[in-house]
């Protein structure tokens, strides 16, 4: 069975440079789903929550829910969460939001605090934001790997092929 690739795009639309790689937001490989890291950008590439790490985390989790549903899965299937924040001061707010979205799921989780230099953030993101740009301390990425149960897989396949 070929991998299913959802929400395909070319990086030239985001990077504002000569880099032009074909990518997608979701890959379903059999019963495993891989998501691109999610941030405070909605799925229409509009930034939500400037200066508000909790709002950015909420938007990221809303994106995750939509992307999983498009791939035939749901939040309850999440097995592993990696959350990146740029300042320890945002840990409580971000983790509370992520925890609210994953209530009762019990995934494995890893949290990392990493300052991100402006040079590593795509220039198109800077252009799309209001004057002053993105507050680097509130930049957030949530990456998830999901593996549905066999029972879910048959449901997902029947929905996909119906």
The CATH number of the domain holding residue 73 is 3.30.1330.40
Residue 162 domain-assigned? no
Residue 105 domain-assigned? yes
What total of structural domains would you count in the chain?
1
- For the segment 41-95, what is each residue's pLDDT rounded down to a tens digit? 899 988 888 888 899 889 999 999 999 999 999 898 888 888 888 888 889 999 9
Reported pTM:
0.75
- For the segment 56-65, what is each residue's pLDDT rounded down to a tens digit? 889 999 999 9
Residue 159 domain-assigned? no
Distance (Å, whole) CA 40 – CA 29: 26
Residue 147 domain-assigned? yes
Pairing verdict, β 78-85 and 108-113: parallel
Residue 98 domain-assigned? yes
Residue 160 domain-assigned? no
CB contact burial 84-100 (16+ within 10 A = b; e otherwise):
bbbbeebeebbbebbee
Pairing verdict, β 141-146 and 32-35: antiparallel
- For the segment 100-132, what is each residue's pLDDT rounded down to a tens digit? 999 999 988 888 887 666 555 554 444 444 334
Distance (Å, whole) CA 31 – CA 45: 28
- Domain of 138, in residue numbers: 4-154
């Amino acid at each position: 069975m070929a991998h299913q690739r959802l929400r395909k795009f070319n990086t030239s639309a985001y990077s504002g440079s000569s880099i032009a790689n074909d990518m997608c937001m979701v890959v379903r490989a059999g019963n495993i789903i891989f998501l691109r890291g999610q941030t405070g950008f909605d799925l229409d590439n509009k930034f939500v929550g400037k200066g508000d790490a909790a709002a950015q985390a909420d938007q990221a989790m809303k994106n995750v829910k939509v992307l999983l549903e498009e791939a035939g899965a749901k939040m309850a299937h999440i097995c592993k969460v990696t959350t990146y924040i740029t300042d320890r001061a945002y840990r409580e707010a971000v983790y509370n939001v992520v925890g609210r979205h994953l209530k009762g799921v019990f995934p494995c989780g890893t949290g990392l605090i990493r300052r991100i230099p402006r040079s590593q953030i795509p220039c198109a993101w800077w252009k799309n934001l209001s004057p002053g740009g993105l507050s680097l301390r509130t930049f957030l990425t949530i990456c998830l790997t999901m593996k549905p149960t066999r029972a879910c897989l048959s449901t997902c396949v029947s929905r996909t092929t119906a």
